[in-house]
């Protein structure tokens, strides 16, 4: 079973919820995939013993200047403006390249082949019964999606897979949540939280992934998130009140379910409820 944890707005508590869920399911083999590769944080809480660490590379074009006639067909073809052909030189902007391979296909003199280009890393390890894998985008590289794809390639059958998604509502989120059996949307009961939750629900509806909502800091703000969810028939799976203790533990990367074990049961119940909703 694959459960992803997402939110339109950043900082609503995705990592808090996904880490707590992973730590609460004790007798289960769990795989935790942190797909927030721009700012991966879950490993700070789960503290895995690292045993995998490797580079994530993409293919970018390499031009053989001897064969190149500077016809510009490659540059005209490239949708991402990653190739600039001047009369004497071809310049490749690897950070803009989407690795589609089209430039090599359209080159009439076979002057283009491809080389590997590092865009980040993939790191993995064990934390008790939890296998943790996360991606880390190299600073100044713009493309997160290929790293998310690489992390998700490791998705293990037979385990409960928990995916920590990046914030927002564009391509990295789609890549992270797609093919999940269920998605938990974490929100806070504020106008910002509600606005971005609405956007996130549209993404999940398009992808046809069933979802429910966890309201974090549930006693702050107003009641509009509840009104929205009840009008749309979206289940509210759990409410986590704002407690200074939770915030303090979070600030020290101590998972609050370890210090406040009564919460483990609530997260176990959350999991049971998700199973029930999927099988309904």
Partner 1 sequence: MKQIVVLSGKGGTGKTSLVASFAVIANNAVVVDCDVDAPDLHLLLQPSILKVKDFYGPKLAFIDKEKCIKCGLCIENCRFNAINDDFEIDPFACEGCGVCGAVCPQEAVTFTEQKAGKTFISKTKYGLMVHALLNPGQENSGKLVTMTRLFASVVAQEEKQPLIIIDGSPGIGCSVIASVTNVDYALMVTEPTESGIHDLKRLLSLIKHFSIKPLVCINKYDINEENTKKIENLCANENIPVLGKIPFNPIVVEAMVNGKPVVEYSPESNVTKEINKIWSRINLLL
Positions that interact with partner 1 (CB under 8 A): 8-12, 15, 36, 38-39, 41, 44, 77, 79-80, 98-102, 105-106, 137, 139-140, 142-144, 166-174, 178, 188, 190-192, 195-196, 199-200, 202-203, 206-207, 220-222, 244, 247-248, 250-253
| Pick 226 or 250: Cβ nearer partner 1 | 250
Are 123 and 50 in contact, with CB atoms under 8 Å apart? yes
User: What is the full DSSP assignment across 167-202?
Assistant: SSSSHHHHHHHTT-SEEEEEE-SSHHHHHHHHHHHH
Kindly tell me which of 129 and 190 has the beta carbon lying closer to partner 1: 190
Hey, which residues does 215 pair with through a beta bridge? 187, 239
Q: Of the two residues 212 and 221, which places its CB atom closer to partner 1 in the complex? A: 221
Q: Around Cβ 218, how many Cβ atoms within 10 Å?
A: 18
| Least gap, CB of 269 to partner 1 (angstroms) | 26
Q: At closest approach, how far in Å is the CB of 202 from partner 1?
A: 4
Please say which residue, 131 or 188, places its beta carbon nearer to partner 1. Answer: 188
Q: What is the CA radius of gyration of the chain?
A: 22
Calculate ∠ Cα 124-140-105, nearest 5°.
Answer: 90
Nearest to partner 1 of 107, 160 (CB atom) = 107
Percent of residues in the chain assigned helix, strand, coil, to nearest 5:
35, 30, 35
């Amino acid at each position: 079973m694959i459960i992803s944890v997402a939110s339109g707005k950043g900082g609503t508590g995705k990592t808090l919820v996904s880490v707590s869920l992973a730590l609460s399911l004790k007798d289960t083999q769990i795989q935790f995939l942190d797909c927030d590769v721009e700012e991966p944080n879950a490993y700070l809480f789960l503290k895995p013993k690292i045993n995998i660490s490797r580079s994530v590379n993409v293919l970018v074009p390499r031009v053989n200047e001897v064969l190149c006639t500077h016809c510009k067909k490659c540059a005209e073809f490239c949708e991402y403006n990653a190739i600039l052909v001047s009369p004497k030189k071809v310049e490749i902007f690897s950070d803009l390249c989407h690795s589609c391979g089209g430039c090599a296909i359209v080159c009439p003199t076979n002057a283009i082949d491809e080389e590997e280009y590092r865009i980040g890393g993939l790191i993995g390890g064990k934390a008790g019964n939890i296998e943790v894998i996360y991606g880390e985008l190299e600073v100044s590289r713009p493309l997160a999606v290929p790293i998310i794809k690489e992390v998700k390639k490791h998705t293990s059958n037979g385990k409960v897979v928990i995916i920590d998604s990046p914030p927002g509502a564009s391509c990295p989120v789609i890549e992270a949540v797609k093919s999940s059996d269920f998605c938990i949307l974490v929100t806070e009961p504020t106008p910002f939280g509600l606005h971005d939750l609405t956007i996130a629900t549209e993404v999940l509806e398009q992808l046809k992934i069933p979802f429910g909502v966890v309201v974090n800091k549930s006693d702050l703000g107003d009641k509009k998130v509840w009104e929205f969810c009840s009008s749309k028939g979206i289940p509210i799976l759990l409410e986590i009140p704002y407690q200074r203790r939770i915030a303090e533990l979070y600030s020290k990367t101590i998972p609050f379910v370890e210090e406040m074990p009564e919460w483990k049961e609530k997260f176990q119940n959350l999991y049971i409820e998700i199973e029930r909703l999927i099988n309904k």
